[in-house]
Amino acid sequence: MRLEPSGRLDDLLKAYPFLLEFLAGLSPKFAKLRNPVLRKTVGRLATLQQVAGLGDMEIDKLLAAIGAEIRRVTGEELRPEAAAGAAPAPFRDREARLEVLKDIIRDLHAGEDIDVLRRRFAELVKDLGPTEIPEMEQRLIEEGMPESEIKRLCDVHVQVFQASLDTQPPPQTLPGHPLHTLMAENRALEERLLDFESHLSALKAAPPMDFPRDLREGLLARWEALGEIEKHYLKKENQLFPLLEDRNVSGPSKVMWAIHDDVRAHWKELGEYLRKGKRDEALAMARQVMTEIRDMISKEEKILFPMTLEVLTEADWARVKNGEEVVGYAWITPGAEWKPAAAPSAPPTAGGGYARPAAAIALDTGALTPEMVNLVLKHLPLDVSFVDEDDTVRYYSDSAERIFSRSPAIIGRKVQNCHPPASVHVVEKILRSFKDGTRDTAEFWITLRGKFVHIRYIAVRGPDRAYRGCLEVSQDVTAIRSLGGQKRLLDGE
């Protein structure tokens, strides 16, 4: 056997099994080779040159150490061949690449120097496919890394892979395609951010402790207009994320949703500082939230959008198109060139589906046709959503003035995936208490956009008291709270 940079680690370990423990003791980086998954993917394919790259070790030193250990244990003399400064070839096997990416991110979270990891990535992976970063993050989450930890360092993840991401062209779609629309919204957003920044520069140039009224009013008007970003984020949350979940890609979506919520919270805080004339606080928060927004644009166009274009079908995009008009558009009017070549894909039914009888439905206190049921629910002066006993969203009332935005994409989706990651544990606690019978209702009240909103979760039970699902009822009770005295039917009319 020859001891050379291009030799396979797998061949070497088969010939000299004792080298596994030797390598594991040689460097903490090589201790990972004890992992059978890593050996079956990276270890099976890796050359010794690539192994050196994984361990951030010079290849000549690695070959010399292996040769010395073989000689010590067996007496056999294997003279290492010179590496001649050759760099390791990047892995091309998908599973091996994903293992290398996961290993890089684990080391990043453990505090490894980012420049070392950039070099390892450049040597062993080099370029990225549209789905590789999301799939890598998904696998790390499935293996136990908390979503909050992925979110905490996701910006640094991008920095490690930045050189590769920068070489990738943006997704190309026709005007009217949902991705084209989202990217057009990003361009409009960037223009408004620049305009907002110019007014912030004027504020920064103003005398210390001074916040001129006209400047404050101009910033507030632009702050309000930039709030249209909510529609952009809702389209992602309600349209793209459910389709990714259908393909078992939920981790990256949850991380991105959590960042959306950070932007929302910081944007709201910025508005409060502007209204109260808190100059320094407004400047600091504006810098933070605008960086978050720009970073999100980059993540969308370099990672999320290319991935969805590769993963989703034409029927899926038709489904997205149907739902996006429910949410609305931020700052732009979408084009009309793109026409889906397939009918919209159906939402997941979780093995159920919906009975749609043509005749009237017999109810406990009457009978209604399906059309009547739909009209009644749409005209209720409150929002209603229903989740079945398997936690699958089955229905929401599409009334004219909804309190919380919904779109058809949530139908068939697990309710846990319809809430921000920070509040999922509350939803699950309520549902558990409904299922085990310890409670039948849970209610909350909040102030939202100047409205006092009352929210109730109600356990739906059959005649046998068996849990059949959860009804969510939300109502704007601002006017109701202010009522006093009496008003008889049609009094004063």
pLDDT tens for the chain, 493 residues: list them: 678 777 778 888 888 888 888 888 887 777 777 777 777 777 666 778 777 877 778 878 888 888 888 888 888 888 777 665 556 677 777 777 777 778 778 887 888 888 877 777 777 777 777 777 777 778 777 878 777 777 777 777 677 777 777 777 788 899 999 999 999 999 999 999 999 999 898 888 888 777 888 888 999 999 999 999 999 999 999 888 888 888 877 777 888 888 899 999 999 999 999 999 898 899 999 999 999 999 899 889 888 898 888 888 898 899 889 888 888 999 999 999 999 888 887 665 443 344 444 578 888 877 888 888 888 988 888 999 999 999 999 999 988 778 888 888 889 999 988 888 888 889 999 999 999 999 999 999 999 888 999 999 999 999 899 999 999 999 999 999 888 888 876 665 5
> Quick one: 45 and 149 in the same domain?
yes
Q: Is residue 418 part of a domain?
A: yes
d(CA 305, CA 63): 43
My answer on whether 383 and 454 are in the same domain is yes
Residue 264 within any structural domain of the chain: yes
CB neighbour list of residue 332: distance below 8 Å, 6 or more residues apart = 181, 184, 185, 188
Model confidence, pTM:
0.67
d(CA 316, CA 345): 5
Is beta strand 361-363 parallel, antiparallel or unpaired with respect to 441-448?
Answer: unpaired
Token pair listed for 431:
């549902």
Q: Does some domain include residue 349?
A: no
Contacting residues for 354 by C-beta, under 8 A, at least 6 apart: 394
User: Is the residue at 214 inside a domain?
Assistant: yes
Question: Same structural domain for residues 389 and 317?
Answer: no
Q: CA–CA separation, 166 vs 122, rounded Å?
A: 13
- Residue for token pair 């409060």: 272
- Where among 112, 132, 166 does a domain terminate? 166
The reply to whether 401 falls in a domain is: yes
The dihedrals phi and psi of 16, each to the nearest 5 degrees, come to -135, 75
Instruction: Answer yes or no: is 433 within a domain.
Output: yes
Q: What is the pLDDT of residue 144?
A: 82
Cα–Cα dist 195/202, whole Å: 11
Q: Are residues 155 and 220 in the same domain?
A: no
Cα-to-chain-centroid distance, residue 379: 34
Same domain assignment for residues 23 and 148: yes
**Pair (188, 75) in one structural domain:** no
- Cα gap 400→375, rounded to integer Å: 12
The backbone torsions φ and ψ at residue 369, rounded to the nearest 5 degrees and listed phi first, read -75, 160
- Co-location of 124 and 193 in the same domain: no
Cα 130 from chain centre:
15
Residues 162 and 20 placed together within one structural domain of the fold: yes
Q: Considering the domain boundaries, does residue 476 fall inside one?
A: yes
**Phi/psi of residue 122, nearest 5 degrees:** -65, -35
pLDDT reported for residue 85: 56
Q: Which of 166, 188, 205 is the last residue of a domain?
A: 166
Verify that 441 and 399 share a domain, yes or no: yes
> For the chain, what is the domain count?
3
At which of 327, 344, 377 does a domain end?
A: 327
| 104 & 56 share domain | yes
Whether residues 25 and 114 share a domain: the answer is yes
Q: What is the 3-state secondary structure (H, E, C) of the chain?
A: CCCCCCCEHHHHHHHCCCHHHHHHHHCCCHHHHHCHHHHHHHHHHCEHHHHHHHCCCCHHHHHHHHHHHHHHHHCCCCCCCCCCCCCCCCCCCHHHHHHHHHHHHHHHHCCCCHHHHHHHHHHHCCCCCCCHHHHHHHHHHHCCCCHHHHHHCHHHHHHHHHHHHHCCCCCCCCCCCHHHHHHHHHHHHHHHHHHHHHHHHHHHHCCCCCCCHHHHHHHHHHHHHHCCHHHHHHHHHHHHHHHHHHCCCCHHHHHHHHHHHHHHHHHHHHHHHHHCCCHHHHHHHHHHHHHHHHHHHHHHHHHHHHHHHHHCCHHHHHHHHHHHHHHCCCCCCCCCCCCCCCCCCCCCCCCCCCCCCCCCEEECCEEECHHHHHHHHHCCCCEEEEEECCCEEEEECCCCCCCCCCCHHHCCCEHHHHCCHHHHHHHHHHHHHHHCCCCCEEEEEEEECCEEEEEEEEEEECCCCCEEEEEEEEEECHHHHCCCCCCCCCCCC
Show the domain range for 112: 9-166
CATH number of the domain within which 207 lies:
1.20.120.520
Among 91, 110, 164, which Cα is nearest to 133's? 164
Q: What is the CATH number of the domain that holds 472?
A: 3.30.450.20
Q: Are residues 214 and 266 in the same domain?
A: yes
Does any domain span residue 488? no
